[in-house]
Amino acid sequence: MLRIAVQSKGRLYEETMELLKSAGIKLVAVKRTLLVPSRNFPVELLFLRDDDIPASVATGTADVGIVGLNEVLEKKQYVNVLRPLGFSKCRLSLAIPKEADYQGLEWFNGKKIATSYPNVLNEFLEKNGIDADTHEISGSVEVAPGIGLADAIFDIVSSGGTLVSNNLKEVETVLSSEAVLIGNNMYLSDDKREVLDELMFRIEAVKTAEKKKYLLMNVPRERLDQVIEILPGIKSPTILPLADEKWCSVHAVLEEKQLWEVINNLKNVGAEGILVLNIEEMVI
């Protein structure tokens, strides 16, 4: 049984559960107990605060974990990032009062910076030769400059709305973060290794499918060549006959970002009844 440490509640929770569900992992019942086994796959979920996930994996309490890269780097535990997961994207940035005149990093020399990420911040300051005073606080970092507790902050930014409403401006992005799957260097039994390989394989399939759409349409046979030229399929599109011999049905997979442009081009050459379907998993 492979044990996966996940956040018990918070910003990572929903999408972590969604990913595991898409990978075909059903839980016995998501009660808020600490340890919940799956009923159809040999894994169990260990629900923790995100701060505790890197250590739980490093010490072997859990075999793998799902947590923000920002926490992984801050906690300095011996864990490996097995793969990025593409959700909970954010950045760790330096922000200062919006009226301040900012010319470059030297601005921070001699300044006091409030943060919940002192390790990542100190590493960055050291690397850039900046001598600032790091002040660790655990929550509501963004209010620190407004109440005179600090000159600047180093915090997570996503939309930037929190900075704006606190009269701050983002001046340096130090780290781009997202949820990652982490593991440790410990020996995994053959059984666990097999489950982890299968889990990684399924996550890969889910992630590959996420950005793709399945397209079906009816095309006049005489326009088929033009349609094939428009479709940037994985290989060549599937073409099926229809009862009306002048028409055929064309199926293809394409990148979500190309979707609307391709659909317009298809309509222009006479494709009809265009259907767009989500793909749940894709094994290449």
Q: Which stretch binds Zn ion (CB under 5 A): 13-21, 45-53, 78-86, 138-146?
A: 45-53
Residues 100, 105, 106, 111, CA torsion sign: positive
Q: Which stretch binds Zn ion (CB under 5 A): 20-28, 36-44, 46-54, 136-144?
A: 46-54
Q: Write down the least CB distance from residue 91 to Zn ion, Å.
A: 17
For residues 215-227, one letter each, b for 16 or more C-beta atoms within 10 angstroms of the residue's C-beta and e for the rest, the string is bebbbbeeebebb
Instruction: Supply φ then ψ for residue 60, to 5 degrees.
Output: 85, 5
Angle at 120 between CA 152 and CA 178, to 5 degrees: 100
Work out whether 129 is an interface residue with ligand PRT (CB under 6 A): no
| Dist. CA 215–CA 253, nearest whole Å | 6
Work out whether 11 is an interface residue with Zn ion (CB under 5 A): no
Work out whether 97 is an interface residue with ligand PRT (CB under 6 A): no
Work out whether 93 is an interface residue with ligand PRT (CB under 6 A): no
Work out whether 51 is an interface residue with Zn ion (CB under 5 A): yes
One character per residue 231-270, x = contact with ligand PRT (rule: CB under 6 A):
----------------------------------------
Smallest CA-to-CA distance from 209 within 197, 217, 201 is with 201
Tokens of 14: 């929903």
Work out whether 162 is an interface residue with ligand PRT (CB under 6 A): yes
Nearer to Zn ion, 50 or 172 (CB): 50
Mention every residue, 6+ apart, whose C-beta is less than 8 A from residue 227: 217, 219, 237, 250, 266, 269, 271
Work out whether 198 is an interface residue with ligand PRT (CB under 6 A): no
Q: Within the chain, where are the H helices?
A: 13-22, 53-58, 69-75, 118-127, 161-165, 190-210, 224-230, 259-268
Work out whether 12 is an interface residue with ligand PRT (CB under 6 A): yes
Q: Write down the least CB distance from residue 81 to ligand PRT, Å.
A: 13
Q: Write down the least CB distance from residue 210 to ligand PRT, Å.
A: 18
Q: Write down the least CB distance from residue 217 to ligand PRT, Å.
A: 38
Mention every residue, 6+ apart, whose C-beta is less than 8 A from residue 233: 252, 253, 254
Work out whether 103 is an interface residue with ligand PRT (CB under 6 A): no
Nearer to ligand PRT, 56 or 70 (CB): 70
Residues that bind ligand PRT (CB under 6 A): 7, 10-12, 49-51, 68, 70-71, 88, 90, 142, 155-162, 177
